[in-house]
Copies of this chain bind each other. A is one copy, B any other.
Amino acid sequence: MLLFHHPMSASSRFVRLVLSEYGETPELQLEQPWDRRPEFMQMNPAGTLPVMTGEANSAIVGAFAISEYLDETRGPIMRGRRLMPDTPPGRAEVRRLIDWFLVKTEADVTRALVRERVFKVQMSPAQGGGAPDSAVLRAARANIRQHMRYLGWLAQSRDWLAGDGQTYADLAAAATVSVLDYLGEIDWNAEPAARDWYQRMKSRPSFRDILSDRVRGLPPVSHYSDLDF
């Protein structure tokens, strides 16, 4: 099993966490989505991450398709460790939250901060590289507060984000938060319940790989790997 990913892609981190929780150890292949490699674009014309190969006859594309595929093929034998609830309404709530973190937070916050602060530094001018756009950064940073407040509210009102047990919703949220935290964009003092929840997530063995991720030329904020931050 081979996973095309980027360490600053929240959707890639989400799938890595799911695989790790289910005891799978895929080979990881770093993909720079802005390169638009022909072989990669052929697997996924959308040019997005992650993409998983080596499991079915053709590539499985995107966090949505991969996570449901893993639930269908691995979930039932996991019993109490299954990361999706058993009831359709419970599953609907998990999917709402995956959508919130990997589509909405991604569009409002994560994509812009990662593109401006990480990708544009490594892209050539022809690829759209260059200095960060301060107006884009400002807009994303204004949005981050609302998203962290919602995370705090979820963490305060429920044991885990989607209810009583740990689910894909926690992994999708933690994947997103870990990217933003790497970049030092999160004010942890503002959301203590979110911090307590993230501390629990960081302590899981599945999180170790994520906490040792490093991006060339951009070290993480000092508390990034601390379990007690």
Contacts and interface: CB of A to CB of B under 8 A. Distances in A.
Interface of A: 44-46, 48, 56-58, 60-62, 64-66, 68-69, 72-73, 88-89, 91-93, 95-96, 98-100, 103-104, 107, 150
A188 to B, nearest CB: 22
Nearest to A95: B65
A60 B72 contact: no
B103 A89 contact: no
B46 A60 contact: no
Contact of A58 (B56, B93, B99): B93
B64 A95 contact: yes
Contacts of A65: 91-93, 95-96, 99
A103 B111 CA distance: 14
Contacts of A96: 44, 60-62, 65
10 contacts: A46-B99, A48-B104, A57-B89, A62-B99, A64-B98, A65-B91, A65-B99, A72-B88, A73-B88, A103-B103
Contacts of A64: 64, 95, 98-99
A60 B107 contact: no
A45 to B, nearest CB: 6
A12 to B, nearest CB: 15
A224 B60 CA distance: 35
B95 A62 contact: yes
Contacts of A92: 56, 60-61, 65-66, 68-69
B60 A89 contact: yes
Contacts of A95: 62, 64-65, 68
Contact of A56 (B46, B61, B88): B88
Nearest to A108: B46
A89 B56 contact: yes
